[in-house]
Amino acid sequence: MAVLFRDFYFIDADRDGASRGDLLVEGGRISRIGADLSEIPGGVEIVKGEGKRLLAPGFVNGHTHAAMVLLRGLGEELPLKRWLEERIWPVEAGLAPEHIYWGTRGAVMEMASTGTTCFCDMYFEMDEVARAAAETGIRCCMSRGLTGDDPEKVREGVELFHRWDGKGNIRVQLGPHAPYTVSPEALKGITASAAEIGAGVHFHFLEAEWEPAFIRDRYGLTPMAYLEETGLLGVPSAILAHCVWFPLSEIPGLAGSTATVAHSPSSNMKLGSGHAPAQAFLEGGVSLSLGTDGAASNNRLDTWGEMRLCALMHKGVSKDPTVMTARDVFRMATLSGALSAGFDDLGLIREGWRADLVMIDLDRPHYIGWSPDNIVDFIVYAGSSSDILGTMCAGKWLYRAGEFPDQEYDAVMGEITRCREDLLRRARRR
């Protein structure tokens, strides 16, 4: 169905300030933008902005494990390795396809209600993720998480690509887990497969402080040499999640590559991993997106919240209020994330671009004083995802006025609760 946004302000990462006018959404795309659109086709839903509502591009969650919402709250306040080995992996071992499906359905509701219209997901049973995404209408760039050297899993990842990539709102990447769970030889095979089929790769890199020494001691390589040697810089696109311990001296090597660093400030803070040199990445010309990581290590899937934390955190740690501007984090959460997910016509409000939009209520006390020039500052520092009136993906409302159209909320919540209980029961039996 077509939607006309009448008299809205709108902003994106390439605009100096907010513009005001009408937007017509048809066929999943922004078809027309104008000061006062006339000759509107019949049967159009008209949404009034009255100069008090803002449209922004939908946020892209650049790194997550959506179905981990089922593991939220398990194993708080532990270091990464113990958290994974003692609390997460034993429970994950009991995950069945229906858990992944319903967990992802829950994550989609949570993300839609906080303005995310696209998520870069790495997990397993990804056909279930694809089904959850296709049924709800959210956009997804997914990868099957690969650990160990089993070529069968790589084949599954490649088959997933052929089955789902380009279908509806779905893109597929290959998902080797991390340097400490996949050997360089296996990684080389994965990146060669990715290059061959034209897929991107999603990889955890240098999240924990011990990782650079691990790579040096075991393989005799620096982080950049490791990326080059394993072919991660030779794939069409690579999402490198975290990069907390990426050496400053090697950042120039990453500039201009097809890699995007998915910065996950909340998860890095919560797991005590440290803070990524995000400002140095930006200044060095490295593409940067924002991710929440899974709900077990955040514990929110709120990309808007990540923008605020990111902008504040880097000012604090550098003792420099001029770094990591509101505009920087807004770009990371929209356009840069969209590119990392494999969409080149997503993340800006442009005619012909995909209609993934967040509708924000500016008629609230904390927006008093906003203007077209300072609106991005207000969004990042004063606003929050509770200001969202609606979230649209490819022209379809995922969330509107506190509800999820086309979703049976109570039934979905019941299934998610049942899956969580079932999963914990299985873990106790282990």
- Alpha-carbon span 385 to 207, nearest angstrom: 27
CA angle 133, 135, 137 (to 5 degrees): 60
Cβ closest to Zn ion, residue 108 vs residue 178: 178
Cβ closest to Zn ion, residue 268 vs residue 325: 268
CA angle 196, 165, 100 (to 5 degrees): 115
Count the Cβ atoms, other than its own, within 10 Å of residue 34: 11
Q: Least distance to Zn ion from the beta carbon of 190, Å?
A: 17
- Write down the H helix ranges in 22-125: 80-82, 89-92, 97-113
Cβ closest to Zn ion, residue 293 vs residue 387: 293
Element spanning 314, H or E: helix 303-318
In the structure encoding, which two tokens stand for residue 183, read together?
């050997």
Q: Least distance to Zn ion from the beta carbon of 294, Å?
A: 6
CA angle 395, 18, 356 (to 5 degrees): 15
Cβ closest to Zn ion, residue 88 vs residue 392: 88
Q: Which residues are at the interface with Zn ion (CB under 5 A)?
A: 293
DSSP state of 301: -
- The dihedral of CA 324, 213, 341, 283: what is its sign? positive
CA dihedral 247, 279, 329, 171 (to 10 degrees): -30
Cβ closest to Zn ion, residue 230 vs residue 266: 266
Q: What are phi and psi of 427, to 5 degrees?
A: -65, -35
Q: Least distance to Zn ion from the beta carbon of 275, Å?
A: 16
Q: Least distance to Zn ion from the beta carbon of 68, Å?
A: 9
Q: Least distance to Zn ion from the beta carbon of 172, Å?
A: 17
Count the Cβ atoms, other than its own, within 10 Å of residue 409: 10
Cβ closest to Zn ion, residue 293 vs residue 328: 293
